[in-house]
Amino acid sequence: DNGFIDDVEGYVLIDWASEVISNDMLDDHGHGTHLSGIIAAQRNGVGITGIQPNAKILPLKVFNRFGKGKQLEAALAIRYAVDNGAHIINCSWGYSKKTKVLEDAIIYAQDHDVIVVAAVGNRGTDDVLYPASFEGVIGVGSVDEDMNKEWYSNYGRHVDFSAFGSQVYSSLPSNRYGPMTGTSQSAAIISGILSSIKAYQPSLTSQELYSLMQQSSSSPVVKGADKGHGMPLALGLLAEFDIEAETFDLVDKKTGKDDKDEQILSRVLNAPNPVKGTSTTVFFTAKKENLTIIVEVYKMDGTQILEASSQSVKGNNSINLDLTDMMNGVYPYTVRIEESGFSEVEKGLCVILR
């Protein structure tokens, strides 16, 4: 019981101040259905498949059939989503004026470690929109197939990442499908990618997820004014966190013998990266359990400055590194097996930018 009557499929908060609210989630505009399909359309052989088909959508309606709505209702919807367990809030909408009621709702979400993704706008200018321009919100612009900024995509300091936005094919009301264009679609793509990673590694914080996106983008260190960090390399990023990665077969099905020549360690990366705090976590996949895994961090001159270890489990592993005493810079690291009969080393690169 959350105080909202019959909200089993979401809630309508249009004209909340006038007490005109309901649980009728009919999409009379089409925008929300299109974005939901991009993120989470089911893999059923019909229409399209979303980026994270297993994601659960909590639909909250704050805009009327003309796409108009008030910031008060938008802020209430954000708080409702947080209170009802949302991990990611996709805001493919924006306002040109900032209000404290909306900003406070964003801060409320961030205080509960909920990720907020927002479209930066379709005016082709450096105009700021909210919530995309609020601190900590992931602002998303649009790029074309050549990774150039789309003509309609807003630009500026509020753009964190970019994704395809033109003629994106997805679901529409009344069991239809079709294309739509805009930074709204780009934001939904980023939300879908984040949802995929979060589903695989629920313990990742908002900062760690942002760092993973940054690390996999075309411009991981420099944030440009037109495209932010660029477009995350989705295939590479999701491969690092493939939901199937936990399933391994160490026995050759033909001979019944262990394949000792097979690579044991894979998918090595650390997050957050770049590191702005005092720690980072090295993630990797192991195909064998009870192996001693050692992470060694070096200066660029080859001097070892840090070491941490743990026993592996079959599947996904992590080792936390305390970087409190380390200065800003670039630090190579290795992840290696310390076990008789195994000799394997994987490498990574950690960047500290405080």
Whether pLDDT at 24 is above 90: no
Whether pLDDT at 215 is above 80: no
Instruction: Identify whether the C-beta of residue 136 lies closer than 8 Å to the C-beta of residue 162.
Output: no
Confidence of residue 274 (pLDDT cuts 50, 70, 90): confident
Q: Give residue-wise pLDDT tens across range 126-180.
A: 999 999 999 999 999 999 988 899 999 999 999 999 999 999 999 999 989 999 9
To the question of pTM greater than 0.85 for the whole model, the response is no
pLDDT number for residue 126: 95
pLDDT number for residue 275: 83
Segments in the chain forming alpha helices (H): 31-40, 71-83, 100-111, 183-200, 206-215, 234-240
Between residues 162 and 315, which one has the greater pLDDT?
Answer: 162
- The answer to whether the Cα torsion of 52, 284, 89, 2 is positive or negative is positive
Whether pLDDT at 41 is above 70: yes
pLDDT number for residue 311: 94
pLDDT number for residue 21: 53
**Which one, of 94, 56, 66, lies nearest residue 182 by Cα?**
94
Distance of CA 198 to the CA centre of its chain: 7
Q: Give residue-wise pLDDT tens across range 194-211.
A: 998 888 778 888 888 888
- Beta-strand relationship, 138-143 and 115-119: parallel
Residue 228 CA to residue 246 CA, distance in Å, equals 33
Choice among 49-53, 94-98, 100-104, 319-323 with the minimum mean pLDDT: 49-53
Q: Between the ranges 82-91, 229-238, 241-250, 295-304, where is the mean pLDDT highest?
A: 82-91
Q: For the chain, list the domains and their CATH numbers.
A: 11-239 (3.40.50.200), 245-352 (2.60.40.2550)
Whether pLDDT at 324 is above 50: yes
Confidence of residue 240 (pLDDT cuts 50, 70, 90): low
Q: Is 151 exposed, middle or buried (0-12, 13-18, 19+ CB in 10 A)?
A: exposed
pLDDT number for residue 316: 83
Confidence of residue 243 (pLDDT cuts 50, 70, 90): very low
Q: Give residue-wise pLDDT tens across range 69-114.
A: 889 889 999 999 999 999 999 999 999 999 999 999 999 999 999 9
Whether pLDDT at 242 is above 80: no
Residue 52 CA to residue 195 CA, distance in Å, equals 7
Q: Which two tokens stand for residue 314?
A: 């079959």
Instruction: Identify whether the C-beta of residue 227 lies closer than 8 Å to the C-beta of residue 141.
Output: yes
pLDDT number for residue 42: 87
